Amino acid sequence: MRDFQENRLRRFPRREHFVCLIAAGIFFAVFFAACPPAPAPELSGHGAEAFYLAAWGSDSNEGTSAAQPLKTLRYAVAEAAEHPSVGTIILMGGLTPASENEDEEPDLGVFRVNGTRGKLITLRGEGPGAARLDGGGGARPVLFVSDSKLLLENIYIVNSVDTGIFMLNSSVTLNGCGVTGNSRGVTVSGGDFTISGETRISGNRPRGGVYVGLGRFTMKSGGIFHNGIKSYEAEGGGVRVYKSEFVMEGGGIFLNEAADSPSARGGGLALSDDSTGFMSGVARIYDNTAAASGGGVFLDGSNFEMDDVAAIENNSLTLLASGGAGKPSGGGGVYMQNSSNLTMRGKSKISGSRAVINNPYTSGGGGVCALENSRVEMHGRSSVERNIMSNINNQAAEGGGVYLSSSVLMMYDEARVAENRADYSGGGVYLSEYRGGIEPVLALYGGASISGNTARHGGGVSVLGAGRVGLYGGSVSSNTAANSAGVSSTGGGLYNLRDASFTMTEGSISDNKVLSSSAGSGGGGAYWGGTFTVSGGSVSANSTVNGDGGGLWISGYGALSMSGNSLVYGEDASPPVFANRAGGPGGTGHAVYWASPGGGRTRNSTVYGTDTLSTDTQEAPPWDR
């Protein structure tokens, strides 16, 4: 290659040459004004608007016209970086490995941008799909970018068994581009990566769409789809973020998968090691698949926030085994562990996801599975809705909407967990302890609601062992405990066999139902074996088809304490629509049924906030049979 400085000086005249030309121009303008001007030649050098690049060009050309393009990207970038005003390169057609002169550092990439001296260089294709950088199927990146600022427009990056774009400590933006047919689409090692316009990162396998390490990825629009990651403990079929930041302002991550491993996680997106993620606007993560956990999103020691109408929806789990190290599988929409945080605001939603698992471990969370001191907060009108948790091997499938294992769910404003389903327990929310962690906690405030959910036990909420549920406003309503014929169901609204605590200071438990007619069914509003403390609010219009405790079923392990203005309506409720009903020939205790050690006791009439009942005594409580 010719010496770069000599070539640049040959192309662009020195300043004193321009002074002479200007003086000559003035002379001819004065003395030959009557003569018509000669046609102006095509501008080059300082007057050029762009450099042109084509496989049939030559680096000995001026490069400032379509008729005389340059040949190699490295040379064109060097020219543009040195030029005082021109920073645009027009790519005409495609470039292949044969287009680049193989000299120094061939392993870095087929095409290389090594330093733009702080200047933004734009590489623009002539039209969508027409211009491309082709890696030729080789085992190195198609485009390697280091210490540079680069904008690519209407360029396709294709055909590498390594990665399409590898960027190192650089700022790279793709606008209307395509990255497809590579082992991995994009690798970010430090710096800022942005996609906008109709950029598509698709069909990159088996290492996924985008990997971000120690950098920032901003997705303004476009799509990341049909990518896949297939390896042991594979994470992030669409995008994987490691110790980095991910911002999604629009566009979609969809139809990606994390597969071929019993612990493959995060079909659409995976964040780990103190990463942060933010979704807003109309951004969507949908129709992704994982083998074990996090069909849509996987969080490991990371924080994720959703706002506006951002949606994680219609994602799924396909198999298979545990979530790793014996952990529960699940989280059709989102799986989170290791003190991760998920915050939902605005009208954001996690919906329509499905976890269908066949494994010997507990399976939980059709919508969200939160483990190991993780925390979920729902604000505004955010929702977790229409998710399903099922198991095809008669194993426990728990938490249709949200599964909490030693984790916390806080619901505020008008947040909703609605219309979810679990085959076994906790149609809306399921709580359990995990390996000596913290007690799981569920709390509702304001107008938050858990409604329209279905499971065999605890249509709305189910707690295994110790856990705390608080209703400080809002409602648990219109949930259903139901199962096939011959199998009992309990707790239309809430369920706990023993040891959990429930507190209600205001709000309501209403319109919940137990539809099973089998023996042992009961507790239309709640079937509870721990402490049940009510100092405000009401329990009304709950029912069983054929079972005890239309309003409340308190087990022999439990205790009921009522005070203040609290109400548990009975058959004498006024108006009658508030009445709880224990149905069928075997149903007793319209308001409350207490399975005390001394035998069952019932209360059919309305119970006001003045009665306290506990297991401290073997004698029957002061209630009418």
d(CA 609, CA 621): 15
pLDDT at 487: 80
d(CA 92, CA 82): 22
pLDDT(31) > 60: no
pLDDT band at 603 (very low <50, low <70, confident <90, very high): confident
Q: What is the CA radius of gyration of the chain?
A: 33
Residue that wins the pLDDT comparison between 108 and 53: 53
Pairing of strands 441-451, 599-603: unpaired
pLDDT band at 320 (very low <50, low <70, confident <90, very high): low
pLDDT(146) > 60: yes
pLDDT at 2: 38
The H or E element spanning position 81 is helix 73-82
Please report, for the chain, how many H helices and E strands are present, in that order: 3, 62
Structure tokens at 133: 């950088």
For residue range 148-185, what is the model confidence (pLDDT) as tens digits? 999 999 999 999 999 999 999 999 999 999 999 999 99
12-21, 258-267, 321-330, 343-352, range with the lowest pLDDT = 12-21
- Contact assessment for residue 454 and residue 479, using Cβ atoms and an 8 Å cutoff: yes
pLDDT band at 618 (very low <50, low <70, confident <90, very high): very low
pLDDT(552) > 50: yes
d(CA 325, CA 263): 9
**Residue that is written with structure tokens 């990207």 in the block:** 73
pLDDT(283) > 90: yes
> For 519-527, what is the mean pLDDT?
92
Burial class from Cβ neighbours inside 10 Å (0-12, 13-18, 19+) for residue 401 reads buried
Other beta carbons less than 10 A from residue 431's beta carbon: 31
pLDDT band at 615 (very low <50, low <70, confident <90, very high): very low
Other beta carbons less than 10 A from residue 585's beta carbon: 5
* 3-class SS of residue 104: coil
pLDDT(3) > 80: no
Extract the runs of DSSP E, i.e. beta strands, from 17-104.
51-54, 88-92, 94-95
pLDDT(500) > 80: yes
User: Strand order of the sheet with strand 363-364?
Assistant: 329-330, 363-364, 397-398
Residue that wins the pLDDT comparison between 58 and 327: 58
10-19, 40-49, 163-172, 181-190, range with the lowest pLDDT = 10-19
Pairing of strands 567-568, 607-608: antiparallel
d(CA 225, CA 216): 20
Question: Which amino acid is it at 134?
Answer: D
* 3-class SS of residue 28: helix
Q: Angle formed by the axes of helices 73-82 and 4-11, to 10°? A: 60
Q: Which of 233, 194, 188 is nearest to 211 (CA)?
A: 188
Structure tokens at 493: 């609204």
pLDDT at 259: 86
pLDDT(10) > 60: no
Q: What pTM did the predictor assign?
A: 0.89
Tell me phi and psi for residue 271, to 5 degrees. -120, 135
* 3-class SS of residue 271: strand
> For 373-400, what is the mean pLDDT?
90
* 3-class SS of residue 334: strand
Structure tokens at 122: 């734009």
Q: Which residues make Cβ contacts (< 8 Å) with residue 84, sequence separation at least 6?
A: 46
For residue range 286-317, what is the model confidence (pLDDT) as tens digits? 999 998 889 999 999 999 999 999 999 999 98
pLDDT at 330: 87
DSSP state of 85: S
> For 582-602, what is the mean pLDDT?
78
pLDDT(459) > 60: yes
pLDDT band at 28 (very low <50, low <70, confident <90, very high): very low
